[in-house]
Amino acid sequence: MQKTRRMLSSEIIKCDGFISMSAAAQALYVHLVLSCDDEGFTSSIELCKFMAHATDEDEEMLVKRRFILQIPNENGKVTIIKHWLMSNYAKSGIVQSQFTERSKVFVKPNGNYTLDPEEGKPLPSHASDGHARRTHPADTSATTNSTNSTNRTKTTNSTNRTNPIGIGQPPITSTYDDDDQPF
């Protein structure tokens, strides 16, 4: 089952490019985030536009300012939140997106989505039960998890760091290249 709680990065919603958009375009972005599956994909843009009182121009503004990516399909289009991993990175419990367009989306080293295969790696696949471990897109080291029943410590081989609560990884940094900077 997909998660029902979503997070918004203040780095995204407080940037000049976001603030300078109409209130309807901002509301559309929020509704799109709330309607996404666990990987940032949704096909509910028309419903989101209705709920946000947004127009086609508001949708185009989000595309133009690179807050969302869109891939046409037989039922309309799939919308992808470009900076999804900055706000909603989860290490486990991910339910893989059912959209076939998933294969056309790649993850850049900084964690942002792109449609250009030259700029990133394919999205990692997840086990069918939805409980596969997903590595942090910016993490290139191999990790081994060892869990002690009393203190739940995670040890990483390459750097020998310890995470005392045993969950998550550092959030994806906000490194932008020219294509990633929203505005």
The per-residue pLDDT for range 142-162, each reduced to its tens digit, is 333 433 334 433 333 333 333
pLDDT value at residue 175:
45
Number of domains into which the chain is organized: 1
- 176 vs 57, which has greater pLDDT? 57
**Assigned domain for 41 exists:** yes
**Assigned domain for 131 exists:** no
**Assigned domain for 36 exists:** yes
**Assigned domain for 53 exists:** yes
- Domain residue limits at 93: 10-122
**Assigned domain for 133 exists:** no
Q: pLDDT tens digits for 9-63?
A: 888 889 999 999 999 999 999 999 999 998 899 999 999 999 999 999 999 999 9
Question: What tokens does 43 get?
Answer: 């096909």
Is the pTM higher than 0.75? no
**Assigned domain for 20 exists:** yes
**Assigned domain for 147 exists:** no
In whole angstroms, what is the distance from residue 78 CA to residue 91 CA? 24
pLDDT value at residue 160:
36
11, 86 in Cβ contact below 8 A?
Answer: yes
How far is CA 2 from each of CA 6, 25, 39, 85, 89, rounded to the nearest angstrom? 11, 25, 10, 16, 13
**Assigned domain for 73 exists:** yes
